[in-house]
Every structure is written in C-alpha cells, then in structure tokens.
Amino acid sequence: MKEDGKIAIAAVATFFIFIITLGMGKYEFSPIGSLKILIESLAGKASNGDPLANIVLQIRLPRVLAALLVGASLSVSGAGFQALFRNPLVSPDILGVLAGAGFGASLAILLNFPLPFVQAVAFGIGLAALGLSYTVAWRGGGARIVDLVLSGIIIGSLFKSLMSLVKFLADPESKLPQITYWLMGGLASSSWGDVEILALISVPSIAMLYLLRWRLDAFMLGEEEAKALGIKVEFYKAAVIVLSTLPAAASTVVAGLVGWIGLVIPHMARMIFGDSNRFAVPGSAIIGGAFLLVVDTISRAVLPSELPLEVLTSFVGVPFFAYLLRRRVYHGWS
C-alpha cells in the first residue's frame, strides 16, 4: 500500500539520520565509522581502550536515542489526544500533565532534590494532574470530552500558577536560573538512565497506541457513533488518555517542557502519510523522532553554543510546517 511504503521510507531515512547525527559533534565520525562502533559494541567487542568510541557510546548515543524517543513520545501523545478529542488544536498538555510535571520539577529543584528525585516528583505530579482533571470531569459513570477539556485547562492553569509561585520563591541567583533552564528543555545532560526511563515508559505506551490505532479512528466519529460501533467508550477513552499521557510525562521528565512538538508534528505526519491513525500514529513517531534528533543535533553540533529546545524546535519547525501547509491541500480537519 502507498502509505505503508511512505512510512517504511521515512523509517529508513530516520535510521540514516540517526547514524549520521551520531557521528556529528566535536569529534567527527563518518557514518560508516559510527555504524562500526555501534555494531562492535552490540557484538560485545566493547572497545575499552578507544576513547573516541567511548564518547560515542557513553555520551553521544544516549543523547541521540533520548532525542529520538522524546520526539516520538510527544508526537504520538499529541496524535492520540487529537484523535480522541476530535480537535486539531489539542496537544499533550491538554489535561494539565505537562504543567503538573513542570511544577513538580520546579518544586523538587527548589527543595534541592538530586536529579532522579526531581524526575520522580515531576512524573508523579504530572500524573496527579491527570488524575485531578479526570476527577473534576467525572460525572455519572463517565467523563465527557468537553468536560475533560475544561477541567484540563483549569488544572493546567492551577499548576502553572503553582510553578510561578515556586519561581517567585526561588533564590534568583542560584535556584531560579536552574528551574528556568530545566523548564526550557534540553537534552544536554541526557544519560543512559534517561534512555531507560523512556524505554520503559514511552516505548510500551507508543506500542499500545499503535495497536489501538483502529479504535482511535472510530473515536474520530464522536463518542455516540463509536459506542454504536460496539466500542466500550469510557474504557478506551481512559486507556488512550493514559497511554498518551505517559510518554508526554516521561519526555517532560527527561527533556523539560517541549510541548510544541506534540501539537505540530502529528499534523505534519497526517499531511505526509494520511489522516487515518493507522498512518498518523506510526508516522508521528517517526517524524517526531527524526525532527527532534535533527533539532538537537543542530543545537549540539552546529551552533556555537546550545540553545534551549523550546526555542530551537520552533525556529526549525515553523518554516518546515509553513512549507508543508502551503504546498499541500489539507483536507482532514476542515
């Protein structure tokens, strides 16, 4: 099928981007050189003595993988929420999860917690924000989409206010810049631990959303029609919300607030691959991963000093999106 072919091509292209960007940086490798180091490491022939190989394996590889996974996570999360809410303007922060995670991280930094705890608190409060949004919207055995949107906005603004309060209380010399930099997002400090977080939380959620792609299409008809088609609406709604939230929360924990990707990349994927979630979900994962990888590589290897992801994603993303928007007639959401 045509769309499947496009997705396969995009996946192969993303693999090449992965190999090329792995070789980019202060110590340059040819793509073949990077591939060789990767293969040797996978084969167990870890080149202990080779410092350059160690740079690739211990510093650059986790960052490159984190960029791929964070990009894929936020994009699939956005695609899931947009399909469920039948709204093209929805992004992963719709239920206040990112604001909750941002507040959690700010608070933990203010209280001088070590990094793993900052991440755990951010993740926990992000999920708590989701729980609160759901609780506020819950009535008579279900949560209507319109109520969820409203409660999400309310809970999101509550956590944004709390985040401001933490910033206000933070020492402007030391803590405030730390919090601000964390929130602006970045992958500079990515470690294998971050990759593990993403691999354990994001990858299974994305895989489940991919398996549920057909149910997501039915949700685009509206809840009553989905129900008449035999779908347990409340169950799958909750499942899609949780599965879309987990990758976004994990991404925030690893890379800060880079929500823009989750709003725009699903649209790029729909324009390129088609609107059915059979294509939009895997397409978002691939385009999102490749996009953030390119952006992060520009930040890390091309620019004289690193820029926050929040800034760079829109610098790179806006022209690309504008180009797609002008070139293609977009029929999907009218």
Partner 1 sequence: MDGAELKVEGVSYSYGRDDFSLKNISLSLKGGEILALLGPNGSGKTTLTKIVLGILKPHPPSVTVGGVNLFEVTEKERAKLIAWVPQEIMKNVPLRVEDFVLLGRTPHISPLSIPSDLDRKLVAEALRKFGLEILAKRYFSQLSGGERRLASIARAYVQGTPFMVLDEPTAYLDFKNKLLALKVMKELAQEGRGILFTTHDPNEAVEIADQVVLMYRGEILISGNPDEVINEETLEKVYGIKVKIVRSNGRAYVTPSIGQHIEA
Contact residues for partner 1, defined by CB under 8 A: 86, 211-215, 217-218, 220-222, 224-225, 227-233, 270, 274-276, 278, 331-334
Nearer to partner 1, 29 or 273 (CB): 273
Shortest CB 211 distance to partner 1, Å: 4
User: Residue holding tokens 């506020």?
Assistant: 136
Shortest CB 272 distance to partner 1, Å: 14
Q: Is residue 154 a contact partner of residue 95, using CB atoms and an 8 Å limit? A: no
Nearer to partner 1, 240 or 290 (CB): 240
Q: What span, in angstroms and rounded, lies between the C-alpha atoms of 233 and 231?
A: 5
276-293 per-residue burial string, b: 16 or more CB within 10 A, e: under 16: bbbbbbbbbbbbbbbbbb
DSSP 149-195: HHHHHHHHHHHHHHHHHHHHHS-TTTHHHHHHHHHH---TT--HHHH
Nearer to partner 1, 86 or 144 (CB): 86
Nearer to partner 1, 15 or 214 (CB): 214
Shortest CB 165 distance to partner 1, Å: 39
Shortest CB 179 distance to partner 1, Å: 39
Nearer to partner 1, 63 or 215 (CB): 215
Nearer to partner 1, 52 or 228 (CB): 228
Shortest CB 220 distance to partner 1, Å: 6
Q: Is residue 29 a contact partner of residue 37, using CB atoms and an 8 Å limit? A: yes
Shortest CB 215 distance to partner 1, Å: 7
Nearer to partner 1, 230 or 304 (CB): 230
Where residue 138 falls (left for φ over 0; alpha for ψ -120 to 50; beta otherwise) is: beta
Instruction: State which amino acid sits at residue 87.
Output: N
Shortest CB 331 distance to partner 1, Å: 4
Shortest CB 88 distance to partner 1, Å: 8
Nearer to partner 1, 48 or 334 (CB): 334
What's the token pair of residue 41? 């490491």
Nearest to 320 by CA among 297, 290, 299: 290
Q: What span, in angstroms and rounded, lies between the C-alpha atoms of 171 and 160?
A: 19
DSSP annotation of 65: H
Q: Is residue 40 a contact partner of residue 312, using CB atoms and an 8 Å limit? A: no
Q: Is residue 59 a contact partner of residue 192, using CB atoms and an 8 Å limit? A: no
